[in-house]
Structure 1
Amino acid sequence: MGFLDALKKVGEVAKKAADRAAKEVKWRKKVGEAKREILSRFTVKQLERIANSKGISLYEEDFVTGERWRLRTKGEIVAKLASNLSFQEVVDLARRYKVRYSDVVQELEKFRQKLFEEKQRKRSEQEILEDIYEADEFEEEFENESSKIIETITEFEPMGIVRDEKELRNQLASWLSAKLGKSVVKLEYPFEHGKVDILVKDEIAIEVKVADGKQKLKNLVGEVTTDKMYFSSVIAVIFDIGKDVGLEFFVNQLKALGATTIVIPAQIKRSGRRQEIIIRQGWKRIIIR
């Protein structure tokens, strides 16, 4: 086998691995959607009772004003419970409250077989549920891992002078490499439809932006929209330098897309034509999920 043939084969193997990973992401997202679908079949009173029995707070807080409010709509309550209950817990609750769920499970099975191009075969509900529980459990473990990475980002402290966004991105990648291991952090990772600023453990995409203009934040929303199609989790790290760019509007858009946003207060110091980006010490770093 010649060098070009070997290179081509490596490329094909990499593409197959990437395709499989993308399918796994789609499968786990579909499981999450199915969990919300089952919960949406409960009444609001039933959902509130479940939240109370499980110790799940139905209050949210505005990241800017600190104002707290109670979740009122069914959709809001369903989303909150879905993020705090496993699929198995939801199925057990459906059985207890006599809420239909089997049709959702069967639809999931059809989706899984088609997605992974498996030969259609009849399986018992319990066999199907075992696969669903496994995907949901992986997602839960993954969420715990994501939380650790988010915490690591909030502790980020640049070394030396940082002049622009690219240097911030590079330093954040170095920071994560030092904390998580160099082998799991990739800088400017290319994929089929773009490039991720930082990729952690092949599944967590991180986009970094200095909020110095609305167009840049619009671009960030577009990047996150694409990233969500290919990676299990997306984190947007925004350095807020105090410019009036409608930051809250864009943060809400990112939240609606299912991304986690970390807002880090910063300032720009200028000396002649040179500038330096400085992290504001003692200022609260905000996480929006």
Structure 2
Amino acid sequence: MADHGPPNGEAWRLVTERAVGGESLRVLERPAVSPGAPALVLVHGFEESPDTWLPLARRLPGQLHLYALRLPWCSGSPHRWADEGGSALWLERALGLLPSPPDAIVAHSFGATTLLNLLARRTADAQPPAVLVAPVYRPHDRPLDPEFYAEAVRRFRGVLGEGLRTRLGRRAATVPADILQAMSGKVRERVEPHGFLQFYATLARAAELPPYRITSPVRLVSGHHDPSAPPEAVRELLRRIPGAEARQDPSFGHFCQVQAPDAVAAHIVEFLSRLGLYEPDTEAVSA
């Protein structure tokens, strides 16, 4: 895909910000090259930020108006946001700050699970098409027992660790293992006391969601060996969401939107093209 970097070299441009119960919600944008463009909203995962989307945003066509939400489960948060409502309510609040309803939404990991929750509870006419990247989900046949709790801890810590290495980028290969472990420990000290409770609650309730109520087109994008979005969970979502389809790549990790942005962008563009939201012939695309 061609690199469609943000205008004037800026990362994102702030559209609006609102404080709710001590938490800050922000809507940022990358305007399209022409007016009237389809609006695509990006929803980050746990301990991420709008900047997590930059590698992908730079590869999405300039004829899409991109909005990135900064949600209270962002990196650096003390994760006390649940005092003011669950993650789906927070996402609903953030979407309400947009100038108009989005044409489609792309969400990652915990953000994807949150979007599933929100879409399943909305009426059909209020469900925009969605791309769920590495959704965190619990199949209904997994009981809430000590084994699952221990697995949830491993998945949570795995996401935090991989997220740290992803943020470090190429520097991660040069950081000594003991230093990397200490850095990961510091993140866990801040996040786990409250953050894990929200992650576990969302994961535990995921199987109770009514995804069969989602009638809008949904595409799942994930890898084959992502322990945080295991293939069996993806298969169940495919069965339970009427309009769902999957694009899986064995090379994709949990943060594939950062690690393989060209491939993920191609899946998103193809999905939007099939829906008539983007016409590939109107923009030059390089290999």
Greater relative CO, 1 or 2 (CA 8 Å, sep 6+): 2
Q: Is the pair's TM-score, using the shorter chain for normalization, greater than 0.5?
A: no
- The structure with more helix, counted as a fraction of residues: 1
TM-score bracket for this pair, using the shorter chain length: under 0.3
- Larger Rg, first or second structure (1 or 2): 1
- Give the alignment's TM-score, normalised by structure 2: 0.21
